[in-house]
C-alpha cells in the first residue's frame, strides 16, 4: 500500500505528502476493510500530484494532503459533537460561540507547527466564529481574547485564542478549556480588527477593537 515516490529532488516532499495523507486516510477510514483500502489508495495518488506541484513552485515544503471530501468533513464535525452556545454582534462584526469536546490541534508557533493535546481536566474546545455582520463572511487575522466567567463572577478561563481551521467548521479562533461544572457562564470577548488587506469597499469596516459578551449554559459536568 506504499504509493510510488520519485527519486528526484522532489521525492522527499512527495513522500511526506503521501505519508501524511496515508495517516489522515487511516484516521478517516477507522477500522479496516476493502472499501477503506480503496480510499487510502485514491488519497495517496492525489497527494503525490499535489506534492509535485509544491516542489515545482519552491513553496515552503509543507506536505500537501488530499482535501477531505464533504462527507468526511460532515462525519468529522458530527463526531466532534459541536454545539452552539450562543452568539453576539459587536458593531460590524458577529461572533458565534460553539463548543466540542477538548481536541488535539496544531498551530504555528515560533516558525514551526506545534501540536496541542488536551491537558488534564480540559473538557471543552471553545470555538469563536468571527464574521462580517451583514455578509457572514469569516474574518481571519484578528486577535480574540476570551474570558469565561461563572455566575459568581469568577474567571474560569482566560487567554488569547488560536486561529485555526477544522473540518466541517471552517476558520475559527479557539482553545481547549476547563469548564468546572454545569451552570451559567459568560464568555467575555475582546476582538481586535482583522490585520488583513481590504478592497476600497470594505476599507472602513472592522477597524476598531470591539467587546462582546455571550452568556451560555454549560450542561456537562467536568469529566
Q: Which secondary structure element, helix H or strand E, spans residue 16, and what is its range? A: helix 11-29
Residues 6+ apart with CB under 8 A from 134: 92
Per rule CB under 5 A, count of chain residues that contact Cu ion? 2
Q: Which is nearer to Cu ion, 16 or 214 (CB)?
A: 214
d(CA 193, CA 141): 8
d(CA 141, CA 192): 9
Q: Which stretch binds Cu ion (CB under 5 A): 106-114, 146-154, 156-164, 206-214?
A: 156-164
The residue of the chain with the least Cβ separation from Cu ion equals: 174
Within 97-136, the residues that bind Cu ion by CB under 5 A are none
Q: Which is nearer to Cu ion, 37 or 109 (CB)?
A: 109
CB of 127 to Cu ion, least distance (A): 5
CB of 191 to Cu ion, least distance (A): 17
Q: Which is nearer to Cu ion, 90 or 169 (CB)?
A: 169
CA 66 to chain centroid: 17
d(CA 156, CA 174): 15
d(CA 122, CA 92): 32
Q: Which is nearer to Cu ion, 55 or 164 (CB)?
A: 164
In the numeric block, which cell numbers belong to residue 4? 510510488
The pairing of beta strand 170-177 with beta strand 183-191: unpaired
Q: Which is nearer to Cu ion, 18 or 187 (CB)?
A: 187
Site string for Cu ion, 159-198 (x = CB under 5 A): -----x---------x------------------------
Q: Is residue 3 at the binding interface for Cu ion, with CB under 5 A as the rule?
A: no
d(CA 76, CA 30): 12
- Chain residues binding Cu ion by CB under 5 A are 164, 174
Amino acid at each position: 500500500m506504499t504509493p510510488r515516490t520519485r527519486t528526484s529532488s522532489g521525492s522527499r516532499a512527495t513522500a511526506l505528502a503521501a505519508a501524511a495523507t496515508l495517516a489522515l486516510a487511516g484516521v478517516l477510514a477507522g477500522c479496516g476493510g476493502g472499501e477503506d483500502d480503496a480510499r487510502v489508495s485514491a488519497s495517496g495518488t492525489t497527494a503525490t500530484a499535489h506534492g509535485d506541484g509544491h516542489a515545482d513552485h519552491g513553496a515552503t515544503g509543507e506536505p500537501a494532503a488530499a482535501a477531505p471530501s464533504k462527507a468526511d468533513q460532515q462525519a468529522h464535525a458530527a463526531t466532534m459533537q459541536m454545539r452552539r452556545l450562543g452568539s453576539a454582534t459587536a458593531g460590524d462584526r458577529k461572533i458565534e460561540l460553539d463548543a466540542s469536546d477538548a481536541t488535539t490541534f496544531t498551530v504555528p508557533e515560533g516558525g514551526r507547527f506545534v501540536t496541542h493535546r488536551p491537558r488534564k481536566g480540559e473538557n471543552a474546545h471553545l470555538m469563536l466564529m468571527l464574521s462580517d455582520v451583514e455578509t457572514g463572511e469569516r474574518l481571519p487575522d484578528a486577535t480574540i481574547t476570551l474570558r469565561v466567567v461563572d455566575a459568581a463572577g469568577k474567571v474560569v478561563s482566560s487567554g488569547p485564542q488560536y486561529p485555526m481551521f477544522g473540518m466541517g467548521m471552517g476558520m475559527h479562533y479557539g482553545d481547549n478549556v476547563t469548564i468546572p461544572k454545569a451552570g451559567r457562564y459568560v464568555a467575555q470577548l475582546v476582538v481586535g480588527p482583522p490585520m488583513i488587506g481590504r478592497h476600497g469597499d470594505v476599507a472602513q469596516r472592522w477597524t476598531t477593537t470591539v467587546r462582546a459578551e455571550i452568556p451560555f449554559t454549560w450542561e456537562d459536568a467536568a469529566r
